[in-house]
Amino acid sequence: MSEQKVYTTNPNAKRLQLIDLEKVYPNKHGADVHAVDRINMDIAPGEFVTLLGPSGCGKTTTLRMIAGFEKPTGGDIRLGGESIRYLSPDRRDTAMVFQTYALFPNLNVYDNIAYGLKIKKLTRQEIQEKVMGILNLTGLMGLENRHTNELSGGQQQRVALARALVMEPGILLFDEPLSNLDAKLRIQMRTEIRKIQRAVGITAVYVTHDQAEAMSMSDRIVILKDGRIEQMGSPKEVYYSPVSEFSANFIGTANMLHGKVVGKQDDGISVSVLDMEISGIKTDREFVVGDECTLVIRPEACTVQEKGLLSAKVVFSTFMGSYQLYELEVGGNRFTVHENNPKNQHIYETGETARIELDVADIHAI
Ligand SMILES: Nc1ncnc2c1ncn2[C@@H]1O[C@H](COP(=O)(O)OP(=O)(O)O)[C@@H](O)[C@H]1O
Ligand SMILES: [Mg+2]
């Protein structure tokens, strides 16, 4: 579990525990909204955890309860082992980076970053040392006298990050911080944020609906659905061992076949699917013979060729540079396949029949 893994040597970094945390919004028509439905999490000091899920699944509400902007209707929040549930936001040792940056437009970069330190009544000298250190860390050195309206979106986001970091909080909270940036800058900034978070060794909870962002940044990902945790694990765990079709679809692309369990072995299960029987399929579930199951197969696990396990019809074939993108029909199911190094392969065109070869080890049953 997470508490055994060491992520940081920073003594300020704090462990975060959410215990049966709940937020119910009353609805005047009687149907209460369970925005957050008794979730549990244990996040280690210095760990980077992303809350991922579709709009309305409870990401922002969870984050705002951690920050203290929203009151839980049940459960507890512990930071560094102590309950912060009833503390006001300014007494929580948390700092938040917002999607909209929320900078002070009338202050320059330096004063935006120094603002919280002035309120804490640090000396001029201390403030200057801390702000200069953070400007350096976030790549803002030289911009300290600029007004925030003279900055690009990426620079404004850095100021927002710097302003949060300078307070040396026990945990850093991010609510979709990159949503207002263009695609290229978003990719650049996610690496940047991750590098800075690692360098400081601070605990981070990051909210996004972008699975690529979650995959590339996180130590662990929490997939939320309707206010509940659908799955929690490292990017590799959620990608290779999804617990449900929802998880499999939410992270990456998933090809699925529906079948029936016909046998069990030490190394996996046998499944009857598309008039075949495939043995040695790995699973994390406790199936019994006769159960329905879904086989999840990732696009890059498949190759389109003359011989192979599954017969298929090419519905769409297109050159994507580093790979050939195929859409195929496999026994009434739609498959996506990424064929790497297309220049070394025979290319199947739309309308052709082919077979899909795959390693049974690449199939995961749920
Ligand atoms: N202030 C509020 N009053 C009533 N319902 C709310 C309020 N804030 C959020 N909700 C509802 O709670 C659910 C979760 O919202 P939210 O946490 O904002 O989701 P996300 O950030 O994942 O998109 C949604 O159904 C939303 O409509
Ligand atoms: Mg939100």
Does position 100 have pLDDT exceeding 90, yes or no? no
Which residue's CA lies nearest to atom 11 of ligand 1? 35
Residue 230 has pLDDT above 90, yes or no: yes
Distance 61 CA to ligand 2 centre (A): 7
The CATH number that applies at residue 28 is 3.40.50.300
So what's the pLDDT on residue 2? 45
Residues 272 and 324 in one domain: yes
Residues 348 and 212 both lie in one domain = no
- Domain contains 148: no
Q: Once rounded to an integer, what is the mean pLDDT over residues 75-95?
A: 97
Edge-to-edge strand order for the sheet containing 302-305? 302-305, 353-358, 310-319, 323-330, 333-340
Q: What is the mean pLDDT of residues 77-98?
A: 96
Q: pTM here?
A: 0.92
- The answer, yes or no, to whether residue 73 has pLDDT greater than 90, is yes
Supply the pLDDT for residue 177: 93
Residues 87 and 185 in one domain: yes
- Measured CA to CA, the distance from residue 2 to residue 269 in angstroms comes to 30
The boundaries of the domain holding residue 332 are 253-365
Same domain, 274 and 257: yes
Q: What is the CATH number of the domain that holds 271?
A: 2.40.50.140
Does 78 share its domain with 182? Answer: yes
User: Which tokens sit at 320?
Assistant: 């994507």
Among the candidates 245, 265, 281, a domain finishes at 245
What's the CA-to-centroid distance between 222 and ligand 2, angstroms?
14
Q: Which of 18, 23, 24, 25 to mutate to test the pocket of ligand 1 (most atoms within 8 A of CB)?
A: 25
Residues 197 and 332 in one domain: no
The ligand 1 atom nearest the CA atom of 36: 14
Is there a single domain that holds both residue 225 and residue 319? no
Q: Higher pLDDT residue, 180 or 255?
A: 255
pLDDT in tens, 188-204: 999 999 999 999 999 99
Q: What is the per-residue pLDDT for 29?
A: 81
Supply angle C-alpha 61, 65, 66, rounded to 5: 120
285 in the same domain as 224 = no
CA of 35 to the centre of ligand 1 (A): 6
CA 60 – ligand 2 centroid, Å: 4
Domain assignment of residue 224, yes or no = yes
Segment holding 35, helix H or strand E:
strand 33-43
Question: Structural domain tally of the chain?
Answer: 2
Question: Is the CB of residue 57 below 6 angstroms from any atom belonging to ligand 1?
Answer: yes
Pair type for strands 203-208 and 171-175: parallel
**Ligand 1 in reach of 60 Cβ (< 6 A):** yes
pLDDT in tens, 138-174: 999 999 999 998 999 899 999 999 999 999 999 999 9
